[in-house]
């Protein structure tokens, strides 16, 4: 009987073994895997942004962090807590009292912080001096994310790195982690175009196929090219499985899935031109755009004041952010594409072309400048009337000296419809589709979406409100680029380029090509060139003769004495241009406080075979000729000096190949 | 003359249990090596070498036990008993908590002299079986039933209480299993067993109540205030935790030792699947999830089951079945009641260890530190199991002698 019982019990054992090993084996193996295999995500290296000559504008540099896994200090925390508790109670002379919850929590907080600070001390005096670890940080991390490494000291510098490496053997539980960090070697240069990056704040998608034990978030583009080409630059994250032992130490790696690095973006910008332009713009508030009229390439585009995108890399600190955000000069604002200004007298180019096309202006059209030009019962001023006293002014002179009277008169003759037709021909009031975007958080679902940073500007609507009729006064106002008219500096540059190149309208091109750099060979692969594209309709509806008249007037404006743009003159370069001074109502808190001015200068050069078209706007510049034209002079002479230096011509040949029209 | 006689006797020996034991010994050494393996970078713990040394001592000792007539040994049982009781008392006074692998939760069970030493509780089990069978043989079928019953209960109780005092609950469980079965076979009156059974029920009831209130206490504010738990039974809290972790593991955090060993052992056994992961490839063991401090002894079965799978489990359980089957056969064929009783006691000793150990590694019963015969690392237990097998053989080979 005893024997039977023994074997019955043994069979129970066997049955249970069968159940566990054969039936539940797979389930248990999975559970076991979960506890000892950890998925770690490997973020891809972000692609580089180059200028047209292959000079680096944004790359990735390694940053070193000192991290600890707090879970490994559990026993030390406990020990420290016991000591702290003893000390605490002895101090109170109540040795046998139990701690309250609050006291326990407080002591826990203190002992965890103490232990981790001790680790930091062991890592070296240099590190201890530079980094502070608070009790709260440690406990918060310990409670909320025990499986993630806790950053003891982020972004070590060289000296710290050296001092840590010297004693790395003596600091148990501490790990050095390398991570790629966005780096803008030229600091503020082209900051608005490049944009900036941030750390992805979205929590990892819990529904995704692989559950990551350690999810290192990607760097994502927040603004500018970084945002617009985020998908290309970001690459594809890889992953690996790490087998850890019971203590959490890594033992071996399984199936490493290497990340695919991001592609590189080559801009049409020329770093040298950009530098020249930003130097010239320094101290002003405004924007400038330099284009190649032969293909629409943006060679330089500046917006002042600027900011250093390097500040944003590790999450900008609150003080600096407030400083940037609260600055009345708005350094984060990309004026070259997002600011709508009244074009002022620069708009006279459009009116002249409209008039020539309609026939209301011809070579014989003249007017006698008046200090005040009456339209209906209103007087319209012409501050340039004294510049040409007792003289009949034709279109050429009118553009040269920027005569308002001529354009009041002939603008009204031409009529608002013809002027607006010409605006449409230049695609004013429409976006140029420049690929600069910003990531904005949607209000309703907190998701990010990409929003174009560009402004379309606006054109006046002739048939607008009920009970209000468009009058000649409005036309006169429109003729000198005032009123309900807003254009961006980029649009003005496009307009100037079209006038310069004989009427061809290009989409502005900011990105030249996207390529994958291969680590083995120097030659990039998968090159994807962004095509040069004409807009639709691709040419201005203006005859070559008419266009040449306007171009000649622009040349006179700069090259002849008495021209308003004479201050832009540069020895050895035939520059043609047009100045503008736009008035606007200065408002403070919605109350009109006076009249402000914005100085414009649009230009192209050289006159015969234009390679450059440029638009400059300067806020609070009282006259385009006096403020904006000298800036253009600085830029042109800088470029000229650069070109006369041997071997410094653009390495990248200018592409003139054109793909047929169409949007 | 005497040698010749012994040679004749040896021919009677049963080879099967020897074979099974040898298989187990070899498997044991091989997997103690594996249990000490921590990846190729680190040296393997030397337990497997020490185990080999113990086998070298244990096997001759077993052969001696086999050749000596068990009746001679049993006649001297008072002596053995006295010695082991003395040692058990000594261990309470001068004993150390074990060093080396076997670390029962701080129990004083190890006695060492110089470099040598061991756990007196292991020979005490054999000594008790000897004395018990000798005593019951004296009173077999006598009329002084009460006297024989009380006597055998006393024989069981002395070492039992001493072992409990250490405290070594695992070993303490083995004594009543052995004693009661032997008494049952020796035809002690049923009414006493009913009485013991009733006592057992009451004790179990108290245990249930105790543990139940303990589980309530774990979640109560008194625990946070770090008040002591006032139990019904004189148990340590970790005992209660171990029992409770078998019933309601969700009460404990996974890292707590009571739950940890149990879950990790089940994972190790279960993840072995049908054919296991291969020698030195059991991650549970190699990566230290199965704590290195207990893997070579109390949890050696988990290591084997993980690395050899269900096939390995079958092999191990099969070997034990052969040995236990032999023991039962010995009990039936013994030439006298003394041999029969002794065989029953020794079979129960082996069985108790096998059942409790394997049962705990697969979560069938609470974690109780108790080694697995022939497989687990451990000196004194190795010697005593060799002697157990030797004694069983001794009873067997002397079965046909009628003098």
B185: contact with A, CB 8 A cutoff: yes
pLDDT interval class at A277 (50, 70, 90):
very high
Distances (CA, A) of B338 to A149, B136, B143, B345, B392: 67, 8, 18, 11, 12
Region A10-32 average pLDDT: 88
Percentage above 90 pLDDT, chain B: 49
Q: How many CA atoms lie within 13 A of A218 on its CB side?
A: 26
In angstroms and rounded to an integer, the radius of gyration of the C-alpha atoms of chain B is 22
Region A295-313 average pLDDT: 88
Quote the pLDDT of residue B101: 39
Beta bridge partners of A63: A179
Distances (CA, A) of A97 to A80, A83, A89, A91, A100: 18, 15, 7, 12, 9
Mean of pLDDT over chain B: 86
A226, pLDDT greater than 70: yes
Region B330-341 average pLDDT: 92
Mean of pLDDT over chain A: 82
Q: Round to whole Å and give the CA distance between A187 and A309.
A: 7
What is the separation of C-alpha B354 from the centre of its chain, rounded to a whole number of angstroms?
7
B357: contact with A, CB 8 A cutoff: no
Weakest mean pLDDT among A250-254, B138-142, B207-211: A250-254
A18: contact with B, CB 8 A cutoff: yes
Whose tokens are 């010994």? That residue is B25
Element (H, E) at A266: strand A264-267
Query: What backbone phi and psi angles, to 5 degrees, belong to B396?
Result: -70, -50
Contact B388, B350 (CB under 8 A): yes
pLDDT interval class at A465 (50, 70, 90):
low
Weakest mean pLDDT among A97-106, A276-285, A305-314, B155-164: A97-106
Quote the pLDDT of residue A660: 43
Whose tokens are 């009571």? That residue is B258
Percentage above 70 pLDDT, chain B: 90
Weakest mean pLDDT among A25-39, A596-610, B103-117: B103-117
Least CB–CB distance from A22: residue in B185, B274, B351: B274
Contact A222, A438 (CB under 8 A): yes
A17: contact with B, CB 8 A cutoff: yes
Name the minimum distance, in Å, from the CA of B192 to any CA of chain A: 18
What is the separation of C-alpha B284 from the centre of its chain, rounded to a whole number of angstroms?
24
Q: Round to whole Å and give the CA distance between A292 and A535.
A: 15
A291, pLDDT greater than 90: yes
More reliable by pLDDT, B113 or B17? B17
Name the minimum distance, in Å, from the CA of B359 to any CA of chain A: 7
Quote the pLDDT of residue B27: 95
Weakest mean pLDDT among A33-37, A448-452, B29-33, B230-234: B230-234
Residues A490-533 pLDDT 10s: 999 999 999 998 888 999 999 999 988 876 666 777 788 888 88
Least CB–CB distance from B362: residue in A20, A22, A244: A20
Q: What are the DSSP E strand ranges found in A347-447?
A: 366-367, 372-375, 378-381, 393-394, 437-441
Weakest mean pLDDT among A30-39, A116-125, A247-256: A247-256
Q: What is the ipTM of this complex?
A: 0.86
Quote the pLDDT of residue A658: 47
Region A249-257 average pLDDT: 72
Return the structure tokens found at A48: 């580089």
Residues B4-19 pLDDT 10s: 877 888 888 899 999 9
B253, pLDDT greater than 70: no
Residues A595-653 pLDDT 10s: 888 889 999 988 888 999 999 999 877 787 788 888 999 899 998 888 887 665 554 44
Residues of chain B neighbouring A24 (CB-CB closer than 8 A): 270
Intra-chain end-to-end CA distance of chain B, in Å: 17
Residues A59-96 pLDDT 10s: 888 888 888 877 777 778 888 888 888 888 888 877 77
Quote the pLDDT of residue B180: 92
Return the structure tokens found at A195: 């944009």
A98: contact with B, CB 8 A cutoff: yes
Weakest mean pLDDT among A241-245, A633-637, B59-63: A241-245
Least CB–CB distance from B289: residue in A9, A24, A35: A35
Cis before B167 (ω within 30):
yes
A89: contact with B, CB 8 A cutoff: no
More reliable by pLDDT, A561 or B250? A561
Quote the pLDDT of residue B399: 87
Return the structure tokens found at B301: 């079965």
Helix and strand totals (H; E) in chain A: 21, 26
Quote the pLDDT of residue A147: 58
Quote the pLDDT of residue A442: 75
A27: contact with B, CB 8 A cutoff: yes
Return the structure tokens found at A193: 């175009």
Residues A157-179 pLDDT 10s: 777 877 777 766 566 677 777 87
Residues of chain A neighbouring B284 (CB-CB closer than 8 A): 32, 36
| Inter-chain residue contact B362 with A247, CB threshold 8 Å | no
Quote the pLDDT of residue A650: 53
Report the sign of the C-alpha dihedral through residues B127, B131, B132, B133, in that order.
positive
pLDDT interval class at B232 (50, 70, 90):
confident
Contact A307, A335 (CB under 8 A): no
For residue A100, with 0-12 CB atoms within 10 Å meaning exposed, 13-18 middle and 19 or more buried, which class applies? exposed
Weakest mean pLDDT among A31-45, A295-309, B289-303: A31-45
A553, pLDDT greater than 50: yes
A210: contact with B, CB 8 A cutoff: no
Q: Round to whole Å and give the CA distance between A355 and A411.
A: 7
Q: Round to whole Å and give the CA distance between B358 and B377.
A: 15
For residue B146, with 0-12 CB atoms within 10 Å meaning exposed, 13-18 middle and 19 or more buried, which class applies? exposed
What is the separation of C-alpha B76 from the centre of its chain, rounded to a whole number of angstroms?
24
Weakest mean pLDDT among A316-330, A426-440, B130-144: A316-330
Q: Which of B287, B360, B361 is best to mutate for the A interface (most A CBs within 10 A)?
A: B287
The C-alpha torsion from B223 through B226 and B232 to B235, rounded to 10°, is 110
Residues of chain A neighbouring B313 (CB-CB closer than 8 A): 14, 17, 21
Three-state secondary structure string covering chain B: CHHHHHHHHHCCCCHHHHHHHHHHHHHHHHHHHHHCCCCCCCCCCCHHHHHHHHHHHHHHHHHHHHHCCHHHHHHCHHHHHHHHHHHHHHHHHHCEECCCCCCCCCCEEEEEECCEEECCHHHHHHHHHHHHHHHHHHCCCCCCHHHHHHHHHHHHHHHHHHHHHCCCHHHHHHHHHHHHHHHHHCCCCHHHHHHHHHHHHHHHHHHHHHHHHHHHHHHCHHHHCCCCCCCCCCCCHHHHHHHHHHHCHHHCCCCCHHHHHHHHHHHHHHHCCCCCCCCCCCHHHHCCCCCCCCCCCCCHHHHHHHHHHHHHHHHHHHHHHHHHHHHHHHHHHCCCHHHHHHHHHHHHHHHHHHHHHHHHHCCCCCCCCCCCCCCCCCHHHHHHHHHHHHHHHHHHHCCCCCC
Region A232-251 average pLDDT: 75
Percentage above 70 pLDDT, chain A: 89
Q: Round to whole Å and give the CA distance between A165 and A156.
A: 11
Region A553-574 average pLDDT: 86
Tallying the residues shown for chain A, one arrives at 663
pLDDT interval class at A231 (50, 70, 90):
confident
Quote the pLDDT of residue B225: 60
pLDDT interval class at B94 (50, 70, 90):
confident
Residues A342-361 pLDDT 10s: 888 899 999 999 989 888 88
Least CB–CB distance from A32: residue in B185, B284, B351: B284
B365: contact with A, CB 8 A cutoff: no
Region B54-80 average pLDDT: 92
Least CB–CB distance from B39: residue in A21, A35, A251: A251
Region B385-393 average pLDDT: 95
Quote the pLDDT of residue A215: 59
DSSP-derived secondary structure letter, A517: P
pLDDT interval class at A260 (50, 70, 90):
confident
Quote the pLDDT of residue B100: 41
């Amino acid at each position: 009987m005893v024997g039977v019982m023994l074997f019955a019990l043994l069979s129970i054992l066997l049955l249970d073994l069968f159940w566990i090993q054969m039936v539940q084996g797979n389930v248990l193996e999975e559970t076991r895997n979960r506890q000892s295999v950890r998925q770690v995500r490997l973020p891809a290296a972000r692609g580089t942004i180059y200028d047209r000559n292959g000079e680096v504008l944004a790359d990735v540099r390694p940053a070193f962090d000192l991290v600890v896994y707090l879970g490994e200090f559990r026993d030390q925390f406990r020990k420290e807590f016991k000591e702290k508790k003893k000390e605490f109670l002895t101090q109170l002379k109540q040795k046998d009292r139990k701690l309250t919850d609050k006291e326990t929590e407080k002591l826990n907080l203190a002992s965890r912080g103490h232990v981790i600070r001790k680790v930091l001390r062991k890592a070296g005096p240099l590190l201890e001096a530079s980094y502070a670890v608070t009790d709260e940080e440690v406990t918060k991390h310990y409670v909320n994310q025990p499986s993630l490494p806790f950053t003891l000291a982020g972004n070590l510098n060289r000296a710290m790195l050296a001092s840590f490496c010297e004693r790395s053997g003596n600091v148990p539980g501490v790990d050095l982690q390398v991570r790629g960090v966005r780096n803008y070697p030229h600091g503020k240069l082209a900051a608005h175009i490049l944009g900036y990056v941030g750390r992805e704040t979205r929590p990892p998608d819990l529904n995704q196929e692989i559950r990551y034990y350690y999810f290192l978030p990607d760097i994502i583009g927040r603004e500018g090219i970084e945002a617009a080409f985020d998908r290309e630059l970001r690459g594809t994250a890889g992953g690996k499985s790490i087998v850890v032992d019971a203590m959490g130490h890594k033992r071996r790696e399984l199936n490493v899935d290497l990340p695919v690095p991001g592609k590189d973006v080559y801009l049409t910008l020329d770093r040298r031109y950009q530098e020249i332009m930003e130097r010239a713009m320094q101290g002003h508030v405004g924007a400038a755009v330099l284009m190649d009229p032969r293909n629409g390439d943006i060679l330089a585009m500046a917006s002042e004041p600027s900011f250093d995108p390097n500040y944003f890399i590790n999450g900008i600190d609150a003080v600096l952010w407030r400083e940037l955000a609260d600055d009345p000069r708005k350094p984060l604002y990309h004026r070259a594409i997002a600011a709508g200004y009244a074009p002022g007298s620069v708009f006279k180019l459009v009116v002249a072309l409209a008039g020539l096309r309609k026939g209301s202006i011809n070579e014989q059209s003249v007017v006698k400048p008046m200090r005040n030009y009456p339209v209906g019962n209103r007087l319209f001023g012409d501050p340039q009337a004294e510049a040409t006293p007792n003289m009949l002014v034709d279109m050429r002179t009118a553009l040269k000296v920027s005569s308002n009277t001529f354009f009041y008169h002939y603008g009204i003759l031409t009529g608002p419809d013809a002027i607006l037709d010409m605006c449409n021909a230049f695609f004013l009031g429409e976006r140029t589709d420049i690929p600069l975007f910003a990531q904005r958080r949607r209000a309703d679902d907190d998701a990010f979406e990409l929003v174009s940073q560009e402004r379309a500007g606006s054109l006046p609507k002739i048939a607008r409100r009920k009970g209000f009729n468009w009058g000649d006064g409005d036309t006169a106002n429109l003729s000198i680029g005032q009123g309900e008219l807003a254009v961006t500096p980029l649009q003005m540059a496009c307009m100037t380029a079209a006038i310069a190149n004989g009427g061809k309208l290009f989409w502005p091109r900011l990105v030249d090509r996207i390529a994958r750099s291969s680590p083995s060979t120097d030659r990039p692969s998968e090159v994807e060139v962004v095509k040069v594209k004409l807009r639709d309709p691709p040419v201005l509806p203006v005859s070559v003769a008419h266009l040449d008249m306007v171009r000649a007037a622009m040349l006179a404006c700069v090259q002849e004495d008495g021209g308003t743009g004479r201050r832009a003159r540069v020895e050895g370069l035939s520059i043609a241009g047009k100045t503008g001074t736009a008035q606007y109502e200065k408002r403070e808190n919605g109350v009109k406080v006076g009249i402000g001015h914005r100085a414009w200068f649009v230009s192209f050069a050289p006159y015969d075979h234009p390679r450059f078209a440029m638009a400059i706007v300067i806020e609070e510049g009282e006259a385009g000729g006096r403020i904006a034209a000298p800036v253009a002079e600085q830029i042109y002479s800088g470029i000229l000096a650069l070109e006369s230096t041997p071997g410094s011509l653009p390495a990248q040949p200018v592409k003139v190949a054109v793909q047929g029209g169409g949007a | 003359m005497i040698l010749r006689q012994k040679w004749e006797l040896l021919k009677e020996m049963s080879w099967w249990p020897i074979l099974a034991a040898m298989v187990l010994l070899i498997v044991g050494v091989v997997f103690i090596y594996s249990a000490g393996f921590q990846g190729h970078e680190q040296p393997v713990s030397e337990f497997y070498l020490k185990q080999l040394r113990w086998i070298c001592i244990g096997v001759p000792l077993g052969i001696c036990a086999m050749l000596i007539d068990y009746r001679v040994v049993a006649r001297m049982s008072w002596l053995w008993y006295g010695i082991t009781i003395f040692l058990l008392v000594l261990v309470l006074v001068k004993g150390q908590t074990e060093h080396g692998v076997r670390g029962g939760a701080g129990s004083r069970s190890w006695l060492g002299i110089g470099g040598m030493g061991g756990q007196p509780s292991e020979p005490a089990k054999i000594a008790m079986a000897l004395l018990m069978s000798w005593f019951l043989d004296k009173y077999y079928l006598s009329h002084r039933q009460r006297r024989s019953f009380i006597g055998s209960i006393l024989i069981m109780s002395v070492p039992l209480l001493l072992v409990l005092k250490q405290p070594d609950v695992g070993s303490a469980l083995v004594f009543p299993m052995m004693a009661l079965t032997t008494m049952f076979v020796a035809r002690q009156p049923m009414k006493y067993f009913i009485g013991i059974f009733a006592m057992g029920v009451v004790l179990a009831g108290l245990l249930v109540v105790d543990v139940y209130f303990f589980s309530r206490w774990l979640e109560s504010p008194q625990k946070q205030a770090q008040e002591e738990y006032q139990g019904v039974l004189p148990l340590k809290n970790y005992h209660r935790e171990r029992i409770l972790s078998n019933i309601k593991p969700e009460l404990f955090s996974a890292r707590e030792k009571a739950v940890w060993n149990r879950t990790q052992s089940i994972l190790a056994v279960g993840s072995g699947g049908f054919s296991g992961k291969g020698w030195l490839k059991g991650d549970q063991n190699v990566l230290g999830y199965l704590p290195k401090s207990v893997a070579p002894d109390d949890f050696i079965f988990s290591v084997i089951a993980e690395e050899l799978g269900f096939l390995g489990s079958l092999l191990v359980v099969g070997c034990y079945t052969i040995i236990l089957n032999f023991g039962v056969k010995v009990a039936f064929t013994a030439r006298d009641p003394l041999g029969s009783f002794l065989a029953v006691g020794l079979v129960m000793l082996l069985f108790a260890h096998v059942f409790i150990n394997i049962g705990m590694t697969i979560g069938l019963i609470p974690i109780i530190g108790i080694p697995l015969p022939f497989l687990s690392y451990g000196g004194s237990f190795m010697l005593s199991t060799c002697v157990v097998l030797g004694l069983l053989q001794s009873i067997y080979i002397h079965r046909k002698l009628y003098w």
